[in-house]
A and B are shown apart, each in its own frame.
Chain A
Amino acid sequence: MFEVFREEVFGDFTIIEYKPIELEKPSFALVSLPDAGLVSVIGAWHIIKTLNLSEVGGIDSYIHLPPVAVISNKLLRTPIRIFSSNTLLIVYSEFMPSQPGIVQLSKLLANYLERKGIDYVFLMTGMPIPNRFEIEKLRTFYLATSQKALELIKSYDLIPFENGFFAGPYAVLLKEFVKARLNTVLLLTESFLEFPDPEAAAKSIDIVSKIVGKPIDVKELLEEAETIRIRARDAMRNVVRGLAQMRKDVEYAPPLYT
């Protein structure tokens, strides 16, 4: 079992902290939910492993998450896990909540990160492209929700996401984080939709590590890319149907009015 330092109920979700979470300034958060190419999940997993972040809490819901208990190193954990270091907090989930659950979870995270005094939030995910099979050099697009967030990333080799549609769990997270006035940076790296894409994850991690100021070597991730693609197969398969229900195909449509 795990020791509960603090437990908080937020709608149909429960947030548990195993120990006090205190972050130094400037503090960063990365929210990782399953989406196109599992870019965020693979990226967050690699950051947690490389920086050896400690598990400090978790989030659960009997209504919006599948009835899953995660066992890690003989300890019982929640489906959504929270890791942190002195300046970085990562919310990590391999399980996609139900559609109404994503809305509630986004509101919960917006509230929680604001109370934790997080200065900047990163949302990194994949941008599915139909010709990913042919592409080797991937591009990353960005969207910053505030001037402060824009200052953070303006000197990096990124393309602004100026017009288009964006669907899925990250669309909901973005909307709630904007409402909560969190300085949020959305990073969209070209990727597969339905296959795990460690190369896209590596591209995103490169950018995050430079901004956060913590060196995160992606060489091991790229060397292990094929193993990760095998290991993430079941997780990817479970995600694809949820993405179809969330109208992920909308991203392929050009907007009529811009």
Chain B
Amino acid sequence: MIDEEFEKLFRKIREVERSVKDFVESEFKRILDSVEDVMHIRRVLSPTWYHEGYLRPLYTVYDRGSYYEILIDLPKVDEGSIDVRFQDNLIYIRARLKEEIRFSNWSGVGGETRFHEYREVIEIPIRINPEKVRIQTRRGLVKILVYK
């Protein structure tokens, strides 16, 4: 009889534990989603060009298992000027354009600015060892392989 009561009590305790665990996980996920939304909103609201004359290139980061593949689109780049540096888990990219460009037929500061350079800082989830990095360049695209 007492054993049954203890059994019921332990069952209840386990149920409560499970509920608390589920609640904590869902709240954590909600917070992460909010942070992701805020980061996305910040990123979406910031343009890919700056009136000082530099452009932020498009890039993607893929986790390929044993390495991260970072692909960066640098059209009209002077390939000899591409400068890639690493610090902790950050990749700093700078590259000059082959020639200054202007966006024609566009009213406002964006259409008046002359762009001459790409600049970007890319964050990846692991600390980068420069000796475990391979870089390929092809037709204005840069592929960086960062081995884990």
* Chain A residues in the interface with B (C-beta under 8 A): 71, 133-134, 194-196, 225-227, 229-231, 233-234, 236-238, 241
Q: Is the CB of B140 within 8 A of A226?
A: yes
Stretch at the interface among B15-23, B71-79, B125-133: B71-79
The 8 Å CB contact of A194, one of B58, B75, B76, B138, is B58
A131 to chain B, nearest CB (A): 11
Residue of B nearest to A197 (CB): B73
Residues from chain B with a CB closer than 8 A to the CB of A238 are 44
Q: List 22 A-B contacts (CB under 8 A).
A: A133-B71, A133-B143, A194-B58, A195-B58, A195-B71, A226-B75, A226-B76, A227-B101, A229-B73, A229-B75, A230-B75, A230-B76, A230-B101, A231-B103, A233-B48, A233-B55, A233-B57, A234-B47, A236-B58, A237-B44, A237-B48, A241-B44
Residues from chain B with a CB closer than 8 A to the CB of A71 are 107
Taking CB atoms and an 8 Å cut-off, the chain B residues in 86-115 that contact chain A are 101, 103, 107, 115
* Chain B residues in the interface with A (C-beta under 8 A): 40, 44, 47-48, 55, 57-58, 60, 71, 73, 75-76, 101, 103, 107, 115, 138, 140-141, 143
Q: How far is the CA of A234 from the CA of B58 in the complex (A)?
A: 9
Q: Is the CB of B58 within 8 A of A133?
A: no
Q: Is the CB of A233 within 8 A of B58?
A: yes
| Given contact pairs A133-B71, A229-B73, A237 touches B58 in the complex (Cβ within 8 A) | yes
Q: With A133-B71, A195-B60, A225-B75 given, can you name 12 additional A-B contacts, CB distance below 8 Å?
A: A133-B141, A194-B60, A195-B141, A196-B73, A226-B75, A229-B73, A229-B76, A230-B76, A231-B103, A233-B55, A233-B58, A241-B44
| Given contact pairs A133-B141, A237-B48, A227 touches B58 in the complex (Cβ within 8 A) | no
Residue of A nearest to B56 (CB): A233
Kindly list the 3 A-B residue pairs having the minimum CB-CB distance in the complex, ordered from nearest.
A226-B75, A229-B75, A226-B76
A-B contact number at CB 8 A: 45
B81 to chain A, nearest CB (A): 15
Residues from chain B with a CB closer than 8 A to the CB of A195 are 58, 60, 71, 73, 141
Residues from chain B with a CB closer than 8 A to the CB of A237 are 44, 48, 58
Q: How far is the CA of A241 from the CA of B40 in the complex (A)?
A: 9
Residues from chain B with a CB closer than 8 A to the CB of A196 are 73
The 8 Å CB contact of B48, one of A134, A226, A234, A241, is A234
Q: How far is the CA of A230 from the CA of B101 in the complex (A)?
A: 10
Residues from chain A with a CB closer than 8 A to the CB of B55 are 230, 233
Q: How far is the CA of A12 from the CA of B47 in the complex (A)?
A: 30
Residues from chain B with a CB closer than 8 A to the CB of A133 are 71, 138, 141, 143
